Amino acid sequence: AVTPGTTNLCEGLITDKAAHKMSAMAAPTKGQTITDPEFGTTIRRITAVNPGEGDKAVIVPMYGTMQAWNADESKLILYHRGSGHELYDGKTYAFIKKLPLESPSDIEHINWDPIDPDTLYYPSNYNAQPRFMKYSVSTGTNTVLRKFDSCENATLSFGAGPMTMSLLNSDKIVGIKCGDTKFMYSITKDKILGTLTIPGDDAPTPGLVGEVTYLEGKIYDMSMNVLRTLTLGNSNEHASIGYSPASGHSVYTAVAFDPPAGVSETATVGSLVVTDMITGTYKVIIGMATGYPYPKSGTHVSAIAYKNPAWVAVSSIGDGTGQSLLDNELLLANIDSGLVCRVAHHHSMARNGPWGYWAEPHVVISPTGTRLLFGSDWSGGDSVDSYVVELPSYVR
């Protein structure tokens, strides 16, 4: 079992459902902070890409389901469009270096080791060689952990909708795909735990404690034997694997725009719904059943606060002017207690603005849950940069 953190991350934050209309305001300069006028939180700008880079003027989080910070939050990875992955100080946010990785299979396909803050992992197809790689920050070296020779005619990857590894399991399990072949691989043991051949773009995703794995609406054991089908309206919505200390089980957290077949929309639709990966139990945290509106477009979930499990971050876009509940908002929720707080406006127009998908916030919660990283074009500006909400519980 995992002991949850005792800190109430919503302490002092707004928990109502009133319309807190977003104020028009200038973005802070790099390294400086502003106080969100509606929600009272501290937003710090951590990058300022040169607009002269044109359509490459983008520095953003990799994705909400993948760790941005390392295990002790001393380092941070961001993606610079056209340049690659960059390493920053995880506390001062100072740029350190461009990461000399050997062709990760995609922008999002990087996992920090959940224990060793110096190590990260990624699948690579450099020179058409399918390999699973380890990178050391301190030495700057890439090491081949395993060659997947059977994958020579396909791309080794974490799949189209990548999610994190088993952050709370000492076997350090990742799900990998190679064409239609799906693997469960233990980094610690350097062992393939299970294999399944099935069509689909996604790779399997282990639960945070590594007891089961999720793939396209179904739950499998580590040998890739199917155990159950989850009752979901749509298994392809934005989601993130998390953990419930109350149940001791891994959970599938997602936005739900559609109800499961034969079930009331009001009872099941929401911006954050949670399904127990062991029992299949389904509950709405932020949704119509709990007094919130139908979920907004561009909603993403980040449930990877493995050092303070149960806390999940949500970013939603909807109306880019932020005039009503959930529009242009960042939220934080405890999936066990049901407590929800509204954290900040992210000020990004995303698909409603000039940068499109590149400006989606893709909120990433830190391992301790005390910071939220997001990308923003700041009301359709001439670049897309990264910002951090430092919650009251964060000690800088």
Cα separation, 189 vs 258, whole angstroms: 40
Q: With a threshold of 0.85, does the pTM exceed it?
A: yes
DSSP code for 50: -
Q: Letter for the amino acid at 101? A: L
Q: Using the 8-state DSSP alphabet, how is residue 317 labeled?
A: -
- As a whole number of angstroms, the distance between CA 242 and CA 309 comes to 7
Each residue's pLDDT tens digit, 315-337: 999 988 899 999 999 999 999 99
Percent of the chain with pLDDT over 70: 98
Q: Which two tokens mark 178?
A: 């190679």
Amino acid at 45: R
d(CA 68, CA 366): 7
pLDDT, position 128: 86
Interior CA angle at 319 toward 313 and 323, to 5°? Answer: 90
In b/e form, how buried is each residue of 361-387, taking b as 16+ CB within 10 angstroms? Answer: bbbbbbbbbbbbbbbbbbbebebbbbb
Q: What is the mean pLDDT of residues 73-99?
A: 98
What pLDDT sits at residue 5? Answer: 58
pLDDT in tens, 91-107: 999 999 999 999 999 99
In sequence order, the 6+-apart residues with CB closer than 8 A to the CB of 44 are 28, 31, 32, 33, 93, 387, 388, 389, 390
**Other residues' Cβ atoms within 10 Å of the Cβ of residue 95:** 15
Q: What is the mean pLDDT of residues 369-381?
A: 97
Q: Which two tokens stand for residue 180?
A: 């239609």
> pLDDT for 1-10, tens place per residue?
444 456 799 9
Residue 2 near residue 209 (C-beta atoms within 8 A): yes
How far, in Å, CA of 28 to CA of 82, rounded? Answer: 24
- For residue 36, count CB atoms less than 10 angstroms from its CB and return exposed for 0-12, middle for 13-18, buried for 19 or more: buried
What is the per-residue pLDDT across 111-137, written as a single tens digit (0 to 9) for each?
Answer: 999 999 999 999 999 988 999 999 999
| pLDDT band per the 50, 70, 90 thresholds, residue 149 | confident
> Quick check: 348 and 47 in contact, CB under 8 A?
no
Residue 319 confidence (pLDDT): 87
Q: List pLDDT tens digits, range 25-71.
A: 999 999 999 999 999 999 999 999 999 999 999 999 999 999 999 99
Give the burial string for 66-75 (b: 16+ CB within 10 Å, else e): bbbbbbebeb
Whether 303 contacts 314, CB under 8 Å = no
- The terminus-to-terminus CA distance of the chain in angstroms comes to 29
- Indicate the pLDDT class of residue 182, thresholds 50, 70 and 90: very high
Instruction: Determine the pLDDT at residue 215.
Output: 97
> Do the Cβ atoms of 258 and 269 come closer than 8 Å?
yes
Could you tell me what percent of the chain has a pLDDT over 90?
93
Give the Cβ contact number of residue 188 at 10 Å: 12
Helix, strand or coil, per DSSP, at residue 263:
coil
Task: Determine the pLDDT at residue 3.
Answer: 47
CA distances from 229 to 218, 241, 269 (A): 4, 16, 18
The region of weakest confidence among 2-6, 300-304, 338-342 is 2-6
Q: Could you please report the per-residue DSSP string of 206-238?
A: E-TTSS-EEETTEEE-TT--EEEE---S-TTSS
For the stretch 199-236, pLDDT in tens is 999 999 999 999 999 999 999 999 999 999 999 999 99
| Contacts (Cβ under 8 Å, ≥6 apart) of 81 | 55, 56, 57, 58, 59, 60, 358
**CA distance linking residue 327 with residue 346, whole number of Å:** 10
Token pair, residue 238, equals 């934005």
Tokens of 268: 């099941």
